[in-house]
Amino acid sequence: FTKPEYYNVQLTKADGKAYNIPRTDLPLGPLSISAYLKKFVDVEVKLIDFNAEVNALDAVPFDNFEALCRHFFMQAQDFMPDFVGVSSLFSPSFPNFMDCGRMAKEVWPDSLVVGGGNIPTNSYEQIYRDMGCTFFDALCFGEGEKPMLHLLQADDAEAYLAASDSWI
């Protein structure tokens, strides 16, 4: 992103540097989960779309995605989430998905950090077994609306996660 190749669509930002332009598409999965939850429970939801956010920045003075992620999470520090959900659809985002989960746990250690989308649905063994990941409290398998609702409604979230087939 910060070192675009000649064939990438580029944008020169206010800091004078050329950046790649990430493609922005509505984050349909998180939006769908948010809409579903709001129908059934009184919940406040905040969504950070990183592609839209980096496009909007005037400069991107971060060496890596982890630093960028920490920056946005620290900006949202007045919001103390009970649950943080990280979503990722595309395989090239795998490292970003992991960085995002790691940073969420660092910034909000008391929150339950969960992941969902195509990446964890297909790569949960790699994430937990091969990489020994400890910052994702659970990964959702497949569609997330009902699993998230049941998680929010559970008296004992950890016991629910351990027993449910929708969560790894």
Residues lying near ligand B12 in the complex (CB under 6 A) are found at 23, 25-26, 28-30, 32-33, 85, 87, 89-91, 114-118, 140, 143-145, 147-148
Nearer to ligand B12, 28 or 59 (CB): 28
Nearer to ligand B12, 27 or 70 (CB): 27
Among positive and negative, which fits the CA dihedral 61, 47, 56, 9? positive
* Cross-sheet strand order for the sheet of 83-87: 83-87, 112-116, 138-139
Closest separation in Å from C-beta 38 to ligand B12: 14
Nearer to ligand B12, 81 or 144 (CB): 144
- Which residue reads 């490292």 in tokens? 95
Q: Cβ(30)–Cβ(85) under 8 Å?
A: yes
Q: Is 61 exposed, middle or buried (0-12, 13-18, 19+ CB in 10 A)?
A: exposed
Nearer to ligand B12, 32 or 64 (CB): 32
Nearer to ligand B12, 15 or 153 (CB): 153
Q: For helices 94-107 and 118-125, what crossing angle results, to 10°?
A: 90
Closest separation in Å from C-beta 62 to ligand B12: 20
Closest separation in Å from C-beta 27 to ligand B12: 6
Cα 12 to chain centroid, rounded:
27
Closest separation in Å from C-beta 109 to ligand B12: 18
Q: Which residue is nearest to ligand B12 (CB)?
A: 116
Closest separation in Å from C-beta 61 to ligand B12: 24
Structure tokens belonging to residue 152? 């929010």
Distance between CA atoms of 128 and 138, rounded to whole angstroms? 10
